[in-house]
Amino acid sequence: MEKWRLIFVDDESGILSTMRRIMWRKREQWQVDFASSGLDGLELLRQFSPHVVISDMRMPGMEGAEFLAQVAQSHPATVRIIMTGNSSVETFIKVVGPVHMVLYKPVEPDHFIELIDRLAYLFSMPISLQARHFLGSVTSLPLVPTLHHQLMKALNDPGCTFDKISEIIAMDPALTAKILHLINSALFGLTRKVVRLEDAIRLLGMDIIRSLALGTTFFSRFDGMVAGKTVESMAYQSLQVARCAKWIAGRLTNDPQVRDEAFLAGLLHRLGYLVVLAQQAEERTDESDAIPLEKDEQIQGWMGAFLLGLWGLSSSIMGVMAFYLRPQSAPRPDCPVLLAVHLAHAHCRRTLPEEQVLSKIGGSETWVGWQKELQKFLLYGEKNHG
């Protein structure tokens, strides 16, 4: 079996020795090369293409963010991780573009091994190397054009509230995904994964949201009318699936966290399609160019799961994105969030759910009744129905 390749860059010899000891546990799966500076790391990159590069932030000569920016240019498929002991806003803005994940120092050995196992799982996903190249280079996703205008207007209003910002962002899967990517990074030192958008907005604060909204590496727009309408349509459909998934989750369990996760997973379930649209926009030179989109929704699901994995989001949300079309193929086919999104997707797309899923909710008669209730819910909302 071919080993995964990792380059670890740090100017402190003690850190390098520690990482050698930790990675010795994974010597059967991983081959690790060490460098004491960014320049030495670049020299290794000229010799081979690694699967992962991990770099310290503060190093003499070339900082980690600058080094990883060069890695992103020359090896876009390589997963880029930075280690830092500084959680300032300045550090946050520096690394948000070229970096996939952030590790906060000191790194616990068990936590590091969990990360390595997570990366190995990502590399085993059934997506092509060409797709991994593009996924590795994704720093921004297409926004709904009208929502970007609303967001900027709200952020420039001194009286704007967190609830208003959350309401705008919740209507856009790309915005939601990146906000959750950032709040769940190690820079914020949280001990739990944040899945509620409202919590993420409050924890980030207006200053960071405003800084990021003004940065081209975080939010991007499609200026073309056709592409813009495609993004708007996809975002609307995803929001409908999210609302239905939350409603269904409430029928499957009384756990409010499951309901929140179902809403989030429903909103993000077509993230892979946004990636395809972003690739199309990057490659086209004229709006009349016919760039074929990846038509296989299952592959798009894997692409979305891979991207969320790169960003360090919840493994349960990744699993939903990968298996919402065929939940019986999932490692946890009875996961209520997965079942909720599968059923919500079927309702909104007017397709039949899997027979095994229907049997878990009481059969076809139950599903017909739920569909009638969902139609009313989508029309009148939660306050007036359900």
Average pLDDT over residues 156-169: 84
The candidate with the shortest Cα–Cα distance to 93, out of 121, 65, 68, is 65
What would the pLDDT profile of 63-99 be if each residue is shown by its tens digit? 888 899 899 889 988 999 988 876 555 555 555 667 8
Has residue 33 got a pLDDT over 50?
A: yes
Confidence band for 295, pLDDT divided at 50, 70 and 90: low
In whole angstroms, give the CA distance from residue 365 to residue 373: 13
Has residue 197 got a pLDDT over 60?
A: yes
Give residue 225's pLDDT: 38
In whole angstroms, give the CA distance from residue 249 to residue 255: 9
In whole angstroms, give the CA distance from residue 1 to residue 29: 8
Average pLDDT over residues 290-318: 77
Give residue 179's pLDDT: 82
What would the pLDDT profile of 376-386 be if each residue is shown by its tens digit? 998 876 554 44
Residue 228: its H or E element: helix 225-252
Return the number of other C-beta atoms located less than 10 Å from residue 109's C-beta: 14
Sketch out the chain's domains with CATH numbers.
4-124 (3.40.50.2300), 141-219 (no CATH), 224-384 (1.10.3210)
Q: Hey, what are 114's tokens? A: 């969990």
Average pLDDT over residues 237-260: 93
Pairing of strands 219-221, 141-143: parallel
Give residue 229's pLDDT: 61
Give residue 281's pLDDT: 62
Say if residues 330 and 322 touch (Cβ distance below 8 Å): yes
In 124-224, which ranges are continuous DSSP H helix? 129-137, 145-155, 162-169, 173-183, 197-204, 206-213
**Coil, strand, or helix at residue 35?**
strand
pTM: 0.78
The candidate with the shortest Cα–Cα distance to 200, out of 313, 82, 110, 345, is 313
Beta bridge partners of residue 56, listed in sequence order: 83
Confidence band for 245, pLDDT divided at 50, 70 and 90: very high
End-to-end CA distance of the chain: 53
Task: For residue 214, report the phi and psi dihedrals to the nearest 5 degrees.
Answer: -85, -10
Give residue 235's pLDDT: 82
Return the number of other C-beta atoms located less than 10 Å from residue 49's C-beta: 10
